[in-house]
Structure 1
Amino acid sequence: MKILIEPAEQQLLEILEERRLDFANIEKTVREIVEDVKHNGQAALEKYIALYEKCALKGERILISEEELDAVKVEEEFKDLCEKFIEKLERFHSMQLQASMWNLTPHGSFVGCLVRPIESVAIYVPAGRRVYFTTLLMCAVPAKIAGVERIVVVCPPNEDGKVPDRILYLCRRLNIREIYKIGGAHAIAALAYGTSIVKKVDKIVGPGNAYVSCAKKLVFGDCGIDSVAGPTELLIVADSTAKPAFVAADMLAQAEHDEMAMSALVTDDENLLDGVLEELARQLNSLGEPNRSVAKVSLEKNGLAVLVRDLKDAIEVVNLLAPEHLELFVEDPFSWLGRVKNAGSTFVGNSSAEAFGDYGVGPNHVLPTLQNARFTSGLSVQDFLKKIFVTLVSEEEVKKQGEFYVKLARLEGFEAHARSIEVRMEGAR
């Protein structure tokens, strides 16, 4: 773990730069895959399935059948827990719905916007050592609330050509019937451009590995995406009122995600820092495998502790790093919350472990990483909506304000624009 004492801004930026997704080594390969699938469709897709997937499925076999979906069985406890999870997500995300908005201008023109759901969205659900069913829920629930008509799920299959039952059960529960057994960059390309089997979509959401992220970056513009996600991050701001055991527990929870996960502490209290380091060693020792080995490497490579002069400096570090997850374990945290400008999701007070956010306390856990919180937000209902602007210009607007618009058009050098307004001014006299 790196320990920095009152670091300069450049030191912190250098740490961030080391974590940035470097697509240089893979972009050529990913671009070839994307272009091949774009131009050669299903044949190219099946070529890459054979190369990269654990099971080389072809044709309609990549699509989950109605019989497969209907035959899925999961334990009752899983069903009950997911119902509560869905209820919490629906309660929070329903508050984000927007109605169409209308307004009359002072001169009687009618302006506003229609709010419409995106027509088709694909959710990429990673697969591997863990079954990321929470990712599916975090993406699908706000999309359903927004009113997206066609929701597609893609998930890489195992060696037997199967997608985890828990994923399929939740698809069935949410009435998602279009599910493809594919993953990787070729899956992203197929979703963006379509094949004879895979129907193209308007937007792709959900996290994935570097190849998936690179492919999303390359198809953006032909297809919408949520973001190019990097390794997960947690930054904890703590003072003398924080509990070292809580801070260490949350840093370990972050570190067990993967070896690239970043767990960071910023504090103005040296005694707290010492206590947290002791707790990290103790708690890491008691963690079972394989989580302990993953967390150990994560903390060694990407763990960070920063000692600052005061909490004002701590918040400056927050706004510079723009973390995915932020925890404020300080006295009177709401007085400091107002100073936070850049963070994906913030957890306030000692009881507020970030893990509550991962498991459906309300806000979404699909969040911006790698300083992207400077300019974007976590996944929400708005990500599945679009606005269509509407304008009806009144005759009074033409008469009284026409010259204003004409002058602006000519200042930009657009004579035909000006004349298109003038011709209406003449008719309104």
Structure 2
Amino acid sequence: MDVNINFWKWSELDAERRRRILRRSEEDISSAIEAVRPIVEAVRLEGDAAVLRYTREFEGAELEPDGLRVSEEEFSRAEAELDKSLKRAIENAVENVRIFHAAQVPSAMEMIEVRPGLVAGERAMPIDSCGLYVPRGRGSFPSMVYMLAVPAKLAGVKRIVMVSPPESDGSINPACLYAAHLCGVDEVYKMGGSQAIAALAYGTESIRPVSMITGPGSAYVAAAKHLVSHIVNTGLPAGPSESVILADSSADAWKVAIDLLIEAEHGADSSALLVTDSVSLAESVRSYLEDCIIRLPEPRQGFVRSVMAGYGGIIVADSMEEAAAIVNDFAPEHLMLHTREPFFTLSMIENAGEILLGENTPFSIANYATGPNAVLPTGGKAKLYSPVSVRDFIKYSSVVYASKEAFENIRDDVIRLAEFENFPAHAAALKNRDKTGKYEL
């Protein structure tokens, strides 16, 4: 069976074709917004009844109102069911993620002396509650649980809630439950899709509302987040998976090919690109890809075929400078540098969610266990956003103290600025500070 793999020479593409490649599979959620609006509204008005109805309709799971929350017995059963090697793999990955993210925890308060007697700083405090959305569309993802829960726990969030779509029998994947328990998640609920987002935002009889919702999901989940963003922080924009490998003539074509398949198997809406200045490397990689793809089982093979014929493939640039410029325009979620001097190539990169250096750092190990977070900005948002971190779960308050001397030194400047901006009460508060009972403008 033939495999269709896009193969482009960048200099020969017109502006529209380039725009389509750079836009990739980020879905326009406008149509999804109208589809989920009545669901979100129903959950707001009806609470658990609506959640149970949509869980039955979309997940095929028949739950009772008291069955939405995962019980202690279910957590215990999940731990008992899991293979020891899988539990050990989860535990090791969690520890690596915890070690990395612990370095992001800020001091409770840091102050600097702006001028003599004028001290200012920031006070870091965790948000009070957060909802973690863990999808279950094409599989179950315990790695998503700890990538979200570990930084939230380290930040000191007082109440961490997880939601995930149940299986048709009403259960949550045991590996996800084990990871949630290991990371200190306080509550887990069997709900997914737009109804789960609405429940987290508005609350129901079973679940109290949260201050923040984070975690990737479908276009319908993204649309629901959009609809509730006026009452809750909806976190990092994370859509379909995407990756770019930037390679030069020194790269091992076999390793490039098998690494290119990693993110492509997530789904047909994913994007996976090789960008290189070497025609010979590009042709070798294409040959290897054709052989590898037909060996993948379904449904992953179907996903990869769709990606390579759609928003993935191979781009040949005229130079490494042009190749790096393409990568920076694309601003990928995942970027791997298969180059002779990856640390030098790193200096050419401005926009990427994560940057993996060298042939021994494939996307797989970063997705699971190297420590840095694998929940990353997609759709070009790496130009503006960062990976999920402890900082996402912390808010800051400015703190200022002025001595009498500092007040006197800054007083006249502030009066002048307040009068210029026509705020007489601002200025009067400084002018009349020592004139109790006598207010003069």
TM-score, with structure 1 as normaliser: 0.95
Structure 1 CA distance for aligned equivalents of residues 285 and 76 of structure 2: 49
Task: Report whether the alignment pairs 1:250 with 2:250.
Answer: no
1:212 corresponds in structure 2 to: 221
Q: 1:424 to 1:336 in 2, by over 3 A?
A: farther
Q: 1:335 to 1:292 in 2, by over 3 A?
A: same
Q: Helix, strand or coil for the counterpart of 2:315?
A: strand
1:98 corresponds in structure 2 to: 106
Task: Report whether the alignment pairs 1:3 with 2:11.
Answer: no
- Correspondent of 2:426 among 409, 417, 425: 417
**1:142-153 residue pairs with structure 2 within 5 A?**
142-153=151-162
Structure 2 CA distance for aligned equivalents of residues 426 and 163 of structure 1: 68
Q: Larger deviation: 148-157 or 301-310?
A: 301-310
Deviation at 1:344, TM superposition (A): 0.1
- Correspondent of 1:225 among 234, 248, 254: 234
Q: Helix, strand or coil for the counterpart of 1:105?
A: strand
Structure 1 CA distance for aligned equivalents of residues 297 and 24 of structure 2: 29
Structure 1 CA distance for aligned equivalents of residues 342 and 54 of structure 2: 50
Mapped contact 1:214–1:228 kept (Cα < 8 A): no
Structure 2 CA distance for aligned equivalents of residues 425 and 312 of structure 1: 65
AA aligned to 1:2 is: N
1:59 corresponds in structure 2 to: 65
Tell me the matched-pair count: 427
Task: Report whether the alignment pairs 1:314 with 2:323.
Answer: yes
Q: 1:283 to 1:426 in 2, by over 3 A?
A: farther
AA aligned to 1:384 is: F
2:246 corresponds in structure 1 to: 237
Mapped contact 1:344–1:373 kept (Cα < 8 A): yes
Cα RMSD for the two superposed structures: 1.8
- Correspondent of 1:76 among 81, 84, 88: 84
Task: Report whether the alignment pairs 1:272 with 2:281.
Answer: yes
Q: Helix, strand or coil for the counterpart of 1:257?
A: coil
Task: Report whether the alignment pairs 1:12 with 2:21.
Answer: no
Q: Helix, strand or coil for the counterpart of 2:294?
A: helix
Gaps of at least 5 residues in structure 1 are none
2:387 corresponds in structure 1 to: 378
Mapped contact 1:238–1:268 kept (Cα < 8 A): yes
Q: Helix, strand or coil for the counterpart of 1:19?
A: coil
1:47 corresponds in structure 2 to: 53
Structure 1 CA distance for aligned equivalents of residues 224 and 422 of structure 2: 40
Mapped contact 2:6–2:312 kept (Cα < 8 A): yes
Mapped contact 1:217–1:228 kept (Cα < 8 A): no
Deviation at 1:32, TM superposition (A): 2.2
Deviation at 1:133, TM superposition (A): 0.5
Deviation at 1:356, TM superposition (A): 1.1
Deviation at 1:56, TM superposition (A): 3.0
Structure 2 CA distance for aligned equivalents of residues 425 and 269 of structure 1: 76
Deviation at 1:381, TM superposition (A): 0.9
Deviation at 1:331, TM superposition (A): 1.7
AA aligned to 1:241 is: S
Deviation at 1:139, TM superposition (A): 0.7
1:344 corresponds in structure 2 to: 353
Q: Larger deviation: 283-292 or 330-339?
A: 283-292
Structure 1 CA distance for aligned equivalents of residues 85 and 73 of structure 2: 24
Deviation at 1:197, TM superposition (A): 1.0
AA aligned to 1:307 is: V
AA aligned to 2:336 is: E
AA aligned to 1:79 is: K
Aligned structure 1 segments of 4 or more residues deviating by more than 6 angstroms: none
TM-score, with structure 2 as normaliser: 0.92
Structure 2 CA distance for aligned equivalents of residues 382 and 210 of structure 1: 26
**1:63-212 residue pairs with structure 2 within 5 A?**
63-72=69-78, 73=80, 74-99=82-107, 100-212=109-221
Structure 1 CA distance for aligned equivalents of residues 323 and 89 of structure 2: 37
- Correspondent of 1:405 among 414, 418, 421: 414
Structure 2 CA distance for aligned equivalents of residues 370 and 169 of structure 1: 31
Cα-to-partner distance string for 1:162-205 (whole Å, 9 max, x where unaligned) = 11111112222223241111101010011011111111111111
Q: Larger deviation: 208-217 or 395-404?
A: 395-404
Cα-to-partner distance string for 1:52-110 (whole Å, 9 max, x where unaligned) = 23213231211112222223221111111111111111111111111121122213122
